[in-house]
Amino acid sequence: MRFQRCKMLFGEENFEKLQNAKILILGVGGVGSYALDCLYRSGVSDITILDFDVYDETNQNRQIGSEAVGMVKVERLQELYPTVKTINQRMDMAWVAEFDFEPYDLVIDAADNTKVKIEVAKKCYKKLIMALGSAKRWDTNKIEVASIWKTHGDALARKIRNELKKAKFDRNFTVVFSPEEDKCKEKGSCVAVTGAVGLTVCSEAIKKILK
């Protein structure tokens, strides 16, 4: 049976909670695709993925599905994970303002647009798990989970904290981040870290669902 080992681990009742969970993943690149894979293999089938990108050759070092160069990411991932729902949509401020986050139990933010991340946090902080910077790093041991207000050593986290303070927003939400010092100036990346951040996001999502 496909989920026999999951049921052994979580128990029937908890596994049912996973099967009934409704999750939205914003961005299915190096982090989001691994969060998707982990949730799907753990028994979550009601997953909506949102992205507007197509696969590029440079994605192949870190993104699930990226062998399909030139293909729309959400369409390729739906082939690999047949129960997912897809939204092929650019994430911008107008989209965040109009989108209804209410139907989802959890929102996973693996997007790379800082302004969008901040607006998503304001709208659905109670059900949010946000992935922060995972490029320019290679040490998975540095990955941490914390409230946004307890983050340190991560430039993106600092920027988001500062912008939220300016907006007089003081609510808590969970983030996965790494204070590892940048190992390069460009957008270099290693799947050990981007994938591990996605898997950590998945683990946090499972914990929240089972609570």
Provide mean pLDDT across the span 121-130.
98
Q: What is the pLDDT of residue 115?
A: 96
Q: What is the pLDDT of residues 158-195, one digit of tens each?
A: 999 999 999 999 999 999 999 999 999 998 999 999 99
Q: What is the pLDDT of residue 81?
A: 98
Query: Nearest to residue 134, comparing CAs of 82, 207, 47, 195?
Result: 195
Q: What is the pLDDT of residue 101?
A: 98
Provide mean pLDDT across the span 118-144.
97
Provide mean pLDDT across the span 13-26.
98
Residue 133 pLDDT exceeds 90: no
Maximum pairwise Cα distance, the chain: 52
Q: Please tell me whether the overall predicted TM-score, pTM, comes out greater than 0.95 for this model.
A: yes
Percentage of residues of the chain with pLDDT beyond 70: 100
* Residue 172 contacts residue 150 (beta carbons within 8 Å): no
Q: What is the DSSP letter of 72?
A: B
Instruction: Please count the residues of the chain.
Output: 211
HSE-up of residue 58 (Cα within 13 Å, Cβ side):
4
Residue 69 pLDDT exceeds 90: yes
CATH of 4-210, one of 3.40.50.1000, 3.20.20.70, 3.40.30.10, 3.40.50.720: 3.40.50.720
Mean pLDDT of the chain: 97
